[in-house]
Amino acid sequence: MTDRAPTGSLTGRSSGQVAANIADADHDGAGGRGDRTVLTLGMVALVALLIGANYSVMQLALRHTTPLVLTGLRLAIGGSALLAYTRWRGESLPRDPRVLAGIFGVSICVTTISSMTLVTGVSLVPAGVAALLSSLVPVWTAVLAFGLLNEQLGRSGGVGVAVGLAGAVVLSSPAIEGDTSMAGVAILTISGIAWAAGIVLLRWWDFGGVSPVMITTVQLLMSTVVVIPIALVVEGTGSTDFSIDLLLPLLYAAIPSLAVTFALMAKVTVEASATQASSVAYLTPVFGVLFAWIIRDNTLSLPEWVGGGLLVVGVMLVTGARPAIS
């Protein structure tokens, strides 16, 4: 997928089997639970760190290529790595036309539209701002799930949506004043809404027991076939420098922050509680801001700090609420 917590395929609970496994994990015996909890929280923190760093790493890659070309290359490499991993695990590619149709729909939302707009947005705004705006996905998901799936989040979830959206407005205020790119903010907002639409589709569609990692693998491969031709037509390769300066950040963006994070999250969603798994959503922007400072020497303005803080609080409230279908 892209550079945000992988709630679409994994923490978004793409199959009833994953949700059931989480429930079973919550009721395991006491023996070994503490060790598993520490390991699980370590994996959650590692996923957030890998994704959070990627906003700055992609900006390094964008010095040597264009947004759509970077998106296509990242999808191709990440999808190939995940395909090798799923084949090593003994999984087979799905063949059911209905399952493939559902995965294609999710791929259009998440790994095509959202991926292209995300990388484009990252090329226009500071990495820390991009990480914070991207973390709003759980809030957009709650809004769409309420309207389309009739999921009720309750009081804390509703407050979380309001606080998160208020934070996004405050975070975007420097763009209104011309201090950062309004186009970048708008494009990242579209990216988040597209990603959230994919999560809603994942919750609604029956994927016939296909594993979350395999769903993501097929998504990436499908999107590769769509994005690369678009990139070649719209941008071409004339502005791409196929050198080690592009290869290193590209490989990071494709493998550690994409393939590895989804492999880890597949394990986290089986062993962690829903609250532990969803904590990736609000840890990621923290690491995003940190690495933007370390790697890119980006600092946030006062409105961005305030808006980012409100946004993270809103996401915490939303991901901590337990949705119920009425």
Q: Which of 21, 5, 291, 298 is nearest to 141 (CA)?
A: 5
Mean pLDDT of 57-84: 96
CA dist 185 → 118, 154, 175, 269 (Å): 10, 29, 7, 31
Which pLDDT score, from 0 to 100, does residue 10 have? 39
| Residue pLDDT, tens place only, 89-143 | 999 999 999 999 999 999 999 999 999 999 999 999 988 888 888 888 888 888 8
- Half-sphere exposure of residue 276, counting CA atoms within 13 Å on the CB side? 23
* Interaxial angle between packed helices 244-254 and 33-61, expressed in degrees from 0 to 180 and rounded to the nearest 10: 150
Percent of residues, the chain, with pLDDT higher than 70: 81
Q: What is the mean pLDDT of the chain?
A: 82
Mean pLDDT of 229-249: 96
Is the confidence at residue 234, as pLDDT, over 90?
A: yes
Sorted by sequence, the CB contacts under 8 Å of residue 245 that are 6+ apart come out as 60, 63, 64
pLDDT band per the 50, 70, 90 thresholds, residue 288: confident
Query: DSSP characters for 4-45?
Result: S--IIIIITT-SHHHHHHHHHHHT--STTHHHHHHHHHHHHH
Is the confidence at residue 16, as pLDDT, over 80?
A: no
Name which residue leads in pLDDT, 137 or 244: 244
Can you tell me the distance from the alpha carbon of 315 to that of 326, in angstroms, rounded to the nearest whole number? Answer: 22
Q: SS3 for 231?
A: helix
Report residue 90 as tokens. 């003994």
DSSP conformational letter for 131: H
| Residue pLDDT, tens place only, 178-213 | 667 889 989 999 999 999 999 889 888 999 889 889
| Residue pLDDT, tens place only, 149-166 | 887 777 878 888 888 888
Report residue 202 as tokens. 């994942």
Which pLDDT score, from 0 to 100, does residue 273 have? 61
Q: Which of 215, 255, 200 is nearest to 51 (CA)?
A: 255
Can you tell me the distance from the alpha carbon of 325 to that of 146, in angstroms, rounded to the nearest whole number? Answer: 9
Paired strand residues for 150: none
Q: SS3 for 95?
A: coil
Q: SS3 for 200?
A: helix
Element holding 151 (H helix, E strand): strand 151-152
